[in-house]
Amino acid sequence: MEWIAVESSAISTLGYEADRRRLGIEFRESRLVYFYSAVPRWEFEEFLKAESKGRYLTQVFLPKKYPYSGPYPSRTQAA
């Protein structure tokens, strides 16, 4: 998974694996990582384009209830 640093007060990085349709989110304060499965690529791209990543997370992404795993203490331990 390739991770992309984002400008957000809540989220530090987002990652996506197209072949597994898996989205990773690393939170800024806690450094905890969650992985969401069955996420289409367009959803990841919309997340990246969102003016507020935190608002997109809470108002658009989480209500869709994608299956997830985590939290993991870091990206390296979560892979």
Q: Are 24 and 34 spatial neighbours (Cβ–Cβ below 8 Å)? A: yes
Distances (CA, A) of 25 to 5, 18, 51, 53: 10, 15, 16, 11
> Which secondary-structure segment (H or E) carries 42?
helix 41-49
Quick: pLDDT tens for 13-33: 999 999 999 999 999 999 999
Per-state percent for the chain, helix, strand, coil, to nearest 5: 30, 35, 35
Short-list 10, 30, 42, 19, CA closest to 70 = 30
- The pLDDT tens digits of the residues spanning 19-78 come to 999 999 999 999 999 999 999 999 999 999 999 999 999 999 999 999 999 999 977 555
